[in-house]
Amino acid sequence: MTLFDRLLKRKDITSADSRSEKGNARNEAEHMLEKGLSLEIQGLPEEALQCYAAAVRMAPDLALAHFNQGNILLDQGDAQGALSAYEKAIAYKPDSAALHYNMGNAHLRLGNTDAGVAACRKAILLKPDLADAHITLGVALGNLGQHLAAIACYQRALEINPSSAEIHSNVGIAMMELDRFEEAVGNFDKALALRPDYVDALKNRGIALQHLGQFDEAAASYHRALAVDSQLAEIHTNLGSTLKELGKFEEAIASYRHALAINPTLAAAHHNLGLTLQANGQPDRAVASHLQAIEVDPDYVPAYNSMGAALGDLGQHEKAITYFRHAIRLQPDSMDGHFNLGITLAAGGQLHAAMESFHRALKIHPDNADSHVGLANVLKGLGEFTSALKSVRRALELDPDCVIAHNNLLFIHNYVADQPAELLLADA
């Protein structure tokens, strides 16, 4: 509301009697507008809405009343109602940057991304130094996958407001989307220099550090966030993942349990707890955790894949296959689902079906060395040594240090006269 310029009174060209009547109505409308503003300040939005509604009934061109209606409705989650109010206001105040900006927010909340982008651009055209419009435009462009364009918007916002921790954090998030994790950490550090207790920046900094393999630093970042607010289940979950990578399984399990004590419906925490129990040699308990993840979120694909893996470790291959197939039904382009299904089918002796699964995994991700190794193993089992050799060589091109691929290469040489064994041994 503070960005919106108060309107001047409209000059009506009418008869004296009419001017008097309209003047009285206008005065009353503006009185209701002022009353609404006062009620908002007192924290009474519903009563304020009634005053604004009365004001626009008496003076439909009172744009500020429509604008304030829209703001309250947007705060209450009624984006469609807010959009309607802003559209009425814009009919009388088309050159208001604040109106176009708030209209953009309403569109974005409704999922009308293109309209939201257009409204933000209009706001910037009218008021180039409106930093919030640059920020919101950046968020919208990021949602469209245009992360470089989003960064450009944030950089413009920083030129206007260089001391905004939020903008530096947004740049960091966009950098993560581009897999530029070191730059992301740098931007989160800038945000934290401005606001040391900025929990979102601490959380995202931890995620970026995990991607860089800097798990000790990531854990420290999560601990800092939890020192600010210990009731953040997502951060306890992230901390658990980091501790698992550090081999601190018991501490990781404690973090996941802490997360679930705060939010028992957090599927990721149940799932990650299961993964850690599995890594800690407790497949039975891992199965129970994965089942809980599926119970709280039946569409959570990673839990089905992990459930299948845990069942496979327990020798329950048919049950494992059922879960992998369910994961693929939910997410047909899941490389992990097809790969895991192939491994389990092969373990159960279903080599032709396993070969098909590996082919599907490679169609999704042609440069995955593990899938080439899996396919080579199956082809080897089917006696198709020439094809197996091609798969092994492709795996080694992608991962020259893959021990299984080197072992397969030596084995297959016994059946394929391709090159001297001494060369193969040297390569291994």
Encode pLDDT of 47-85 as tens digits.
Answer: 999 999 999 999 999 999 999 999 999 999 999 999 999
At 399, give phi and psi (nearest 5°): -140, 85
pLDDT in tens, 148-159: 999 999 999 999
On whether the pTM is more than 0.85, the answer is no
Name the percent of the chain lying above pLDDT 70.
Answer: 91
Strands (E), 268-309: none
Amino acid making up residue 134: H
Sequence letter at residue 249: F
Which residue, among 348, 280, 260, 269, has the nearest Cα to 308 in the 3D structure? 348
DSSP 419: S
Q: How far apart are CA 107 and CA 122, in angstroms?
A: 13
Query: Residue 64: which of 34, 22, 101, 40 has the closest Cα?
Result: 34
Q: Which two tokens stand for residue 9?
A: 């009174």
Q: Can you give the pLDDT at residue 1?
A: 35
Task: Give the span between the Cα atoms of 35 and 53, in whole angstroms.
Answer: 12
> Which of the two residues, 369 and 13, has the higher pLDDT score?
369
Q: Which CATH superfamily is domain 1-93 in?
A: Tetratricopeptide repeat domain (1.25.40.10)
